[in-house]
Amino acid sequence: MAVATSGAGTASRRTSRGAFNLRKLLQLNWFGGAAAWLWLVIVMVPLYWIVVTSFKDQTAYFSQNPFALPTAPTLANYRLVIESDFPQYFLNSVIVTAGTIVPAVAIAFMAAYAIVRGAGGKFLAGVNGLFLMGLAIPLQATIIPVYLLIIRMHLYDSLLAIILPSIAFAIPLSVLVLSNFIRDVPKELFESMRVDGAGEWDMLRGLALPLTRPALVTVSIYNGLGVWNGFLLPLILTQSPDKRTLPLALWTFQGQYSVNIPAVLASVMLTTLPIVLLYAIGRRQLLSGLTAGFSR
Amino acid sequence: MTVPSAAPPVLPARARKALSGVGRSGPVAWMAIPALAIFVVFGIVPLFGVLFLSFTRWDGLGAIDPAGFANWRSVLSDPALPHTVWVTFEIMILSWAVQTPLSLLIGTFLAGRQRYRGFLAVLFFIPLLLSSAAIAITYKALLDPNFGLGAGLKVGLLTQDWLGRENLALGVVVFVVSWQFIPFHSLIYQGGVRQIPTSMYEAASIDGAGRIRQFFSITLPQLKYTIITSSTLMVVGSLTFFDLIFVLTAGGPGDATRVLALDMYKRGFQANLMGPASVIAVLLVLIGLALALLLRRLGGSTTASQQEGA
């Protein structure tokens, strides 16, 4: 089913460039256009406000029009944030994100490969069903037993405590998206490799891996975003300041400096900037991949 | 159910036959073991664990003692529970009702291929990148009656105590949720619209159907599964709006925005009553599953099993 529909997707994309064009039709969508531009303004106003305010000092913030560019731009807010141990929190977030995504995507890829290649086997069908079920369950609701598990494993207040459940939570969607992509690899290719004496492991590395690389990047970015921005797991599974990840650090910083709005917004800027830079680089991949993964 | 239908229809019957023999043997099965193991330990076991804990007494630190139905009795007879459930559904329904039409409109628009629409999309999707904590903190600052945007612009209408009044606070939560997620759902609809065969529009315009007519008789029905996917994500996702509400309002003012997920956190990790908190968690799982199944049923055909949840 999935193959048929995603195949149809590429086909229709091709025809849309053809004789008759959807383009012309959609060009006339004034109503949608108005909604899109209006919503763009709604999206951009707070973002613009974050950027300009983060460069103002407090007096300027109170005396100036909130949307005016800073007359005397200052980096003092950023200095304050950086001196509040943000490099440490940044490092923690990097460790947690990389420590989750690399193993999660690797094992999800293996599972997706097995599910596609071993189709027909009862065991793998069951495994697939289990992962699909995982998609429908709000996994955050299981946080209390996860907390209990982490305590019993003596992992409480460590970065590993965040990493392990994050890997588990990332698996269902990753397997779904990756298996849809592996299904698109022509079976003849697998067959000809098999005839040449390749084992499953060789086919996984030599065939499935290179052909599904875009999906792997997409799944990594998507899950990476979720982990980087995650709040509940760090909140519940860690406690010491030196184990804080960025979202948690943001929250405590805001509690401390709630009146110093420029500083608070500078902290928002600093935690978001790395992601925006990554987005600028990997945007095409992320957007097209998400579309392929969700819109069926 | 989904796996056996995996063979693509484009494959010649001969090849399919040859392959199914290979596929049926089990040497690849071990490759699924690592993912299965960690998902079972941190996904499935806790799912049953939460049911188990709902029948125990535990303060989060000490011993876990059996408690029978005491937690269930106390939670279900708690006069505050109906309010919490009501607020959860209120936020779910309102945010669905705001997001769906706007995302549909915007997604349909963005499905066009002009270059400026690509540029629009780049800016448009920035909220996807921000953490809920960052968004909540930004709006908290922005809406502050004394230090926020309204005070700075000296516009009376904007200087209300947005997060201090019950109805306003709920509206703010719905707005911020929409601000955060409309781009994502627009993206889903954009992808959906691009997969509608253009020949359908071609035929319709030959028959003289206008654009609005085409939207309602082609675009909307063709997007049926996309709408179900997006709605499932919105609805099930809204059960887990924890961080946004926790940082933005902490459930306040009073209990005006105390949704079930927050209620679970407060009972469990602030009042140290893990038993009653687990009862709430079980309710959350049941509501989530029920809604996902309901939406899938609305989808009608079995194809929906592919879309479900994803």
From the first residue on, what is the mean pLDDT of each consecutive set of 10 residues in chain B (310 residues)? 37 42 58 92 92 92 87 91 92 94 87 72 84 91 79 69 80 92 88 82 79 80 85 85 88 85 92 93 91 79 40
Which domains does chain A show, CATH number per domain? 22-74 (no CATH), 84-294 (1.10.3720.10)
Candidates B28, B98, B294, B302: best to mutate against A (most CBs of A within 10 A) is: B28
**Model pLDDT for residues A9-30, shown as the tens digit of each residue:** 343 444 444 444 555 554 456 7
B68: left (phi over 0), alpha (psi -120 to 50) or beta: left
**Model pLDDT for residues B141-152, shown as the tens digit of each residue:** 888 877 777 766
Q: Tell me how many residue pairs between chain A and chain B have CB atoms under 8 A apart.
A: 407
Q: For the domain B84-223+233-269+281-292, what is the CATH code? A: 1.10.3720.10
Chain A residues near residue B60 by CB distance under 8 angstroms: 147
CB burial readout A35-61, b (16+ within 10 A) else e: bbeebbeebeebbebbebbbbbbbebb
SS3 B75: helix
pLDDT of residue B26: 55
Candidates B42, B59, B100, B172: best to mutate against A (most CBs of A within 10 A) is: B42
Sole residue written with tokens 């100036």: A64
Q: Return the domain boundaries, chain B.
A: 84-223+233-269+281-292
Chain A residues near residue B153 by CB distance under 8 angstroms: 65-67
pLDDT of residue B156: 65
Q: Give me the DSSP letters along A152-207.
A: HTT-TTSHHHHHHHHHHHHHHHHHHHHHHHHHTS-HHHHHHHHHTT--HHHHIIII
Q: Measured at the alpha carbon of residue A268, what is the angle toward residues A266 and A273, in degrees to the nearest 5?
A: 95
pLDDT of residue A279: 79
pLDDT of residue B22: 41
Beta bridge partners of B56: B66
What pTM was estimated for this model as a whole?
Answer: 0.82
User: Can you tell me the distance from the alpha carbon of A175 to that of A293, in angstroms, rounded to the nearest whole number?
Assistant: 11
Query: Any residues with CB less than 8 A from the CB of A256 and at least 6 apart, and which?
Result: A84
Q: What ipTM was assigned to the predicted interfaces of this complex?
A: 0.82
Beta bridge partners of B65: B57
Distance (Å) from the C-alpha of residue B188 to the closest C-alpha of chain A?
Answer: 5
Distance (Å) from the C-alpha of residue A158 to the closest C-alpha of chain B?
Answer: 16
In this prediction, residues A275-289 reach a mean pLDDT of 73
pLDDT of residue A8: 38
